[in-house]
Amino acid sequence: MSAFCLNLQSSTAAISAPPELDSDCMEHPLDHSIKPPQDSGGFQSHSLLYAGPGGLGMALEEELAMLTGDREDSADLTALETSVNGQDPDLLSLFRQKEKDLVLAAKLGKALLERNQDLTKQYEKMNKELNEKLEHLEQEKHELRRRLESREGEWEGRVAELETDVRQLQSELERHQAQLREADRDKTRAVSELSEQNHRLLEQLSRVSTNFHAKVYNKPIWLGHRQGHGTWPTFLTGSYALN
């Protein structure tokens, strides 16, 4: 496109500086009736080079409008070609080259405009899809956050219940352990008391047995012996009494 602009500028420069005419050409009023075309194409092409991204479509549309106007003036160029036919081949060549450049510029401008429209549509489509994806991701993020908060509430409640159960079980365990310790102390005390009672009973039994044996061994036994009509006592002590 820049090469085309340079070509247009060179062509315009060539037109703006008309070639020298011979004496035959001077006799005709060509210098009064023929005016070189203005360098509108070169200026507009140069403005396209510095158009921003947002103004590219408008610049191309303006360029196409101007090129269309130049294309509509092709009849005037044809009339000029007819008027200068056979008089100045260089000028005629410049007019034809100018017409070709205008047609090429129109084609390039149209192609660029279509390409710009396609890129704009693709950008809008991609932007729409991206916005839809972002919205979907935001919804998923919100849903996941809500579910996470709900689960956290459930977990906190469950943990609180488990901690309460643990404290209750620990309290019951301590109470049972205290009861077991008390039962062990009671059992130990009962065993000790029973042992003492048994010991006292054994001692008492031993004393009773000793006393009994002592009384039995030391008590005299009188035996009656009947002889005739009278009775004579017999005194036995010791082991004889047991026999």
pLDDT in tens, 140-151: 999 999 999 999
Which pLDDT tens digit goes with each residue over 62-106? 665 665 555 555 545 555 555 545 557 788 888 888 888 999 999
Distance CA(25)–CA(45), nearest Å, equals: 34
Alpha carbon distances (Å) from 8 to 38, 50, 93, 176: 11, 17, 14, 108
- In this prediction, residue 82 carries a pLDDT of 53
Which pLDDT tens digit goes with each residue over 59-74? 556 665 665 555 555 5
First CA to last CA distance, the chain: 159
Q: Are 99 and 74 in contact (CB under 8 A)?
A: yes
Distance CA(10)–CA(29), nearest Å, equals: 26
Residues in CB range of 46: below 8 A, 6 or more apart: 5
Q: Is the pLDDT of residue 127 over 80?
A: yes
Which sequence spans correspond to the domains of the chain? 2-136, 212-243
Whole-model pTM over 0.75: no
Out of 75-79, 104-108, 117-121, 172-176, least confident range: 75-79
**Residue 122's pLDDT band (cuts 50, 70, 90):** very high
**Average pLDDT taken over every residue of the chain:** 70
Distance CA(144)–CA(150), nearest Å, equals: 10
Cα 184 vs. chain centroid, distance in angstroms?
Answer: 61
Q: Is the pLDDT of residue 173 over 90?
A: yes
Distance CA(110)–CA(7), nearest Å, equals: 19
Which pLDDT tens digit goes with each residue over 184-197? 999 999 999 999 99
